[in-house]
Amino acid sequence: MFKGALFDLDGVIANTADLHFKAWQKLARNYFKAELPIELEEKTKGISRSDSLQVILDSLKITLTSTEFSHLANEKNEIYKAYLDKLTVADILPGIDNFIAELKTQHIRLALASASQNGPVILQKLGLATAFDTIVDPKQVAHGKPAPDIFIAAAQSLNLQPVQCIGLEDSIAGITAINASGAISIAIGDAAKLKAAYKIVADTTQLNLATVTAVFKH
Ligand code: B16
Ligand code: MG
């Protein structure tokens, strides 16, 4: 039986993944009069704000000074935070509340392993601030997803080894990170995209103790 659950946030606990891309689209329209190619939505999922901006600039073939880069990254965050204003408990993805409750009945420890610097604020708005034993600060890890650092740090924060944990993710970068950490990866979303995961469920309603216990053979 596993002892820890390492949760991604955007796209796993709440549907904020959509809001991130909406904010990038608005930024690109405002500053570059550009429409972002839809494939950038997946390419920016799970990776840090600055890595996402770089992916977008590369796609648009735009070079910025470091001052301009920081300004745009901050602007995107302001747009995103305005979207977060409306976030409430009702925005927790279906099934997540029950899943967390089930994990707690088994004394499984929970860590947040989100790339988002807005993670603590979002958990507060969702009424989940006390649900997690630990929250990893993404600024404190050397390499962002797809590197394994944040999942290794999340397991360590629970005094566990990654192999004693499951990791839950909606992004390709996140699944790569979990696999490299040694934890058992569980993907939520499109099976064709997330095929590197150990187990894939179509949506959060399918996350439950029985399903994740069955995949954990340790
Ligand atoms: P912020 P996750 C990630 O969150 C998002 O998937 C990604 O789109 C975003 O760029 C990143 O957080 C950084 O977010 O700008 O709020 O610090 O999926 O790892 O929970
Ligand atoms: Mg995510």
Domain ranges of the chain: 4-15+88-217, 17-84
Q: Is 53 in the pocket of ligand 1 (CB under 6 A)?
A: no
Active site (annotated) includes residue 51: no
Q: What percent of the chain has pLDDT over 90?
A: 98
Residue from 7, 9, 10 to probe ligand 1 pocket by mutation (most atoms less than 8 Å from CB): 10
For the residues 108-136, what does the mean pLDDT come to? 97
Nearest atom within ligand 1 for CA of residue 138: 17
Cα-to-centroid distance, 197 and ligand 2 (Å): 14
CATH 3.40.50.1000 fits domain 4-15+88-217? yes
Is residue 169 within 8 Å of residue 197, measured between CB atoms? yes
Of 171, 85, 43, give the one whose Cα is nearest residue 179.
Answer: 171
Complex prediction ipTM: 0.95
Can you list the positions of beta strands (E) in 56-164? 109-112, 134-135
Q: What is the identity of the amino acid at 156?
A: Q
Q: How confident is the model at residue 215 (pLDDT cuts 50, 70, 90)?
A: confident
pLDDT given for residue 217 in this prediction: 63
pLDDT tens figures, 84-118: 999 999 999 999 999 999 999 999 999 999 999 99
For the residues 171-196, what does the mean pLDDT come to? 97
Is residue 25 within 8 Å of residue 36, measured between CB atoms? yes
Residue written as tokens 């000074």? 65
Q: How confident is the model at residue 56 (pLDDT cuts 50, 70, 90)?
A: very high
Nearest atom within ligand 1 for CA of residue 8: 20
Q: What is the pTM of this model?
A: 0.95
Options 3.40.47.10, 3.40.50.620, 1.10.150.240, 3.40.309.10; which CATH number does 17-84 get? 1.10.150.240
